[in-house]
């Protein structure tokens, strides 16, 4: 398939997953099928440059990659340009998140017309970011409520990324 928001490359025991553009529900089944067909691997490298997209798809990817991590697969995320919104959720599945100093991470509360779904996703996002950062749910909820764009240094300071890469 061409023009997808994802691309897989497998070499030896490492699977690189490139996520770019809008993460949509369209082709989500193809994403999960390709992931399943690429396993097992020792390590997954997530290479992200995305403004976000569908919360359902991103949460599904987060859950599947988190399960693989618990089963022993090493997962590393590289924010190549931006990981915004739903793409930031996907990044949080990694044990290690690397970001350039001039890369960007963006987190916020979910929006939508269905208040019940928005509330469910709100709780899910708060839990994901609180678990990642070790911060209280109240602190994380405030960060998300205000919406936060951050460069690489700030993302590391906020504990939403681990390492600045590409410094000279």
How many structural domains is the chain composed of? Answer: 1
The model carries a pTM of 0.95
Alpha-carbon distance 49 to 69, whole Å? 22
**Given this model, what pLDDT does residue 166 score?**
84
Residue 158 — φ and ψ, nearest 5°?
A: -80, -5
CATH number where 135 lies:
3.90.226.10
Would you say residue 1 has pLDDT above 70? no
For residue range 33-92, list pLDDT tens digits in order: 999 999 999 999 999 999 999 999 999 999 999 999 999 999 999 999 999 999 999 999
The residue range of the domain holding 26 is 6-165
Does some domain include residue 1?
no
- From the list 127, 163, 162, the residue with the least C-alpha distance to 144 is 127
**Given this model, what pLDDT does residue 2 score?**
58
Alpha-carbon distance 88 to 48, whole Å? 9
């Amino acid at each position: 398939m061409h023009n997808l928001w994802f691309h897989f490359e497998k070499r030896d025991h490492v699977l690189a997953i490139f996520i770019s553009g809008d993460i949509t529900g369209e082709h989500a089944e193809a994403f999960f099928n390709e992931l399943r067909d690429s396993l097992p691997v020792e390590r997954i490298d997530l290479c992200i440059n995305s403004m976000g997209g569908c919360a359902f798809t991103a949460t599904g990817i987060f859950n599947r990659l988190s399960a693989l991590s618990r089963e022993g697969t090493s997962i590393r995320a590289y924010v190549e340009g931006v990981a915004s919104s739903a793409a930031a959720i996907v990044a949080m599945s990694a044990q290690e998140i690397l970001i350039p100093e001039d890369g960007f991470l963006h987190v916020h509360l979910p929006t939508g017309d269905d208040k019940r779904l928005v509330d469910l996703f709100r709780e899910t996002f708060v839990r994901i970011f609180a678990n990642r950062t070790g911060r209280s749910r109240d602190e994380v909820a405030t960060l998300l409520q205000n919406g936060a764009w951050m460069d690489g240094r700030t993302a590391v300071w906020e504990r939403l990324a681990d390492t600045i890469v590409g410094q000279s």
